[in-house]
């Protein structure tokens, strides 16, 4: 399928984001891969097909088409699918308006099912099961079956007796756990910057002068002068509707529509000997690309490096 574009602005921007996510990726190679995935012979063909006076837009592309573009780009450039999703989204390559957080999570959950977990099934890690303990009926990802059975809930790690976990006959929907993306609070720094952090106090987004930076979760933030949270004691947990609405509204104010890098730890949470978010972040750091330029207010977290 050929995706029509009014000009080269967005594919050029997407290529720049893709190059930044790679170690030794040439911009020209990113251009050619983008052109091919978008349905063109090459970058020259894409350039000649753009018409500034034509009111064309990829805004009607469905999420299934976006998924195809992300996965094909990831394969062609040998980049992590999470980095490609971020690049495509930030460049607004496939639609005029940004994907919502719900759409971002739908895409990421689809990717996990196709590239990480595979088909669900009884006893298979990554299957969404039901936790029946204490009369609950809570969905969770199966990490390891056995006695006990290890799960990853929307709110984080947990374990249950094997008879308390049920694999439904009807496949349950995949989801992106709140533990990985939902803001828990905000740090105010000496220099006026703001850092949004997760439930486990990992930094997720840095904000200064109306600019936003996606932060690596293995950073240690210095110069904190104030800390606030989106939940308040006595009004429910940190994922309650009121706290969730406040956290999402804060992201929207700063036009943050993408998922944080902490979400990329999900695959590592199903590896052996990983029993905490810190373990998962440590594996993510060991396996992934590491930024060489750190924000002025941050340094590497020594607990993650050990």
pLDDT value at position 55?
45
pLDDT value at position 51?
63
pLDDT value at position 290?
63
Q: Which of 271, 132, 184 is nearest to 140 (CA)?
A: 132
Structure tokens at 235: 């009004």
Contacts of residue 255, defined as CB under 8 A and 6 or more positions apart, other chains included, come to 98, 212
Write the DSSP symbol of residue 256: -
**What is the domain partition of the chain in residue ranges?**
9-97, 118-166, 178-305
3-state SS string over 196-241?
A: EECCCCCEEEEEECCEEEECCCCEEECCEEEEEECCCCCCCCCCCH
pLDDT value at position 89?
95
- Alpha-helical (H) ranges within the chain are 9-20, 27-37, 43-49, 63-77, 81-90, 101-111, 178-181, 241-253, 277-287, 302-305
Query: What's the rounded Cα separation, in Å, for the pair 173 and 79?
Result: 26
CATH of 118-166, one of 2.70.98, 3.30.1490, 2.30.30, 3.40.50: 2.30.30
Which CA distances in Å does 255 have to 127, 136, 212, 251, 258?
33, 36, 9, 6, 9
Write the DSSP symbol of residue 115: I
Contacts of residue 293, defined as CB under 8 A and 6 or more positions apart, other chains included, come to none
> Can you name the residues that pair with 165 across neighbouring β-strands?
131
**Residue 94 near residue 249 (C-beta atoms within 8 A):** no
pTM: 0.92
Question: Exposed, middle or buried by CB within 10 Å (0-12, 13-18, 19+), for 63?
Answer: middle
pLDDT tens for the 306 residues of the chain, in order: 788 888 899 999 999 999 998 888 999 999 999 999 999 999 999 998 886 544 445 556 789 999 999 999 999 999 999 999 999 999 999 988 889 999 999 999 999 999 999 999 999 999 999 999 988 899 999 999 999 999 999 999 999 999 999 999 999 999 999 999 999 999 999 999 999 999 999 999 999 988 999 999 999 999 999 999 998 766 778 889 999 999 999 999 999 999 999 999 999 999 999 999 999 999 999 987 666 678 999 999 998 887
Structure tokens at 104: 């971002």
**Residue 46 near residue 2 (C-beta atoms within 8 A):** no
């Amino acid at each position: 399928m050929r995706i029509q574009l009014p000009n080269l602005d967005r594919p050029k921007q997407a290529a720049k984001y893709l190059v930044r996510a790679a170690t030794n990726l040439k911009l020209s190679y990113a251009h050619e891969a983008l052109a091919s995935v978008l349905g063109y012979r090459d970058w020259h063909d894409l350039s000649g097909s753009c018409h500034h006076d034509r009111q064309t837009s990829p805004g009607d592309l469905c999420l299934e088409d976006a998924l195809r573009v992300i996965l094909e780009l990831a394969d062609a450039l040998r980049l992590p699918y999470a980095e490609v999703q971020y690049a495509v989204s930030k460049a607004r390559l496939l639609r005029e308006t940004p994907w919502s957080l719900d759409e971002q999570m739908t895409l990421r959950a689809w990717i996990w099912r196709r590239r990480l977990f595979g088909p669900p099934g009884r006893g298979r890690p990554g299957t969404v099961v039901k936790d029946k303990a204490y009369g609950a009926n809570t969905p969770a990802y199966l990490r390891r079956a056995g006695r006990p059975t290890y799960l990853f809930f929307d709110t984080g790690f947990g374990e249950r007796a094997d008879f308390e976990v049920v694999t439904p006959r009807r496949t349950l929907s995949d989801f992106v756990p709140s533990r990985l993306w939902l803001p828990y609070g905000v740090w105010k720094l000496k220099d006026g910057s703001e850092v949004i952090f997760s439930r486990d106090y990992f930094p997720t987004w840095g904000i200064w002068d109306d600019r936003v930076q996606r932060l690596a979760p293995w950073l240690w933030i210095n110069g904190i002068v104030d800390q606030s949270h989106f939940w308040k004691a006595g009004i429910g947990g940190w994922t309650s509707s009121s706290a969730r609405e406040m956290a999402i509204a804060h992201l929207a104010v700063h036009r943050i529509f993408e998922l944080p890098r902490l979400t990329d730890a999900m695959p590592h949470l199903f590896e052996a000997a990983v029993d905490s978010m810190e373990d998962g972040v440590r594996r993510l750091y060991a396996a992934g690309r590491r930024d060489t330029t750190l924000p002025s207010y941050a340094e590497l977290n020594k607990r993650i490096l050990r």
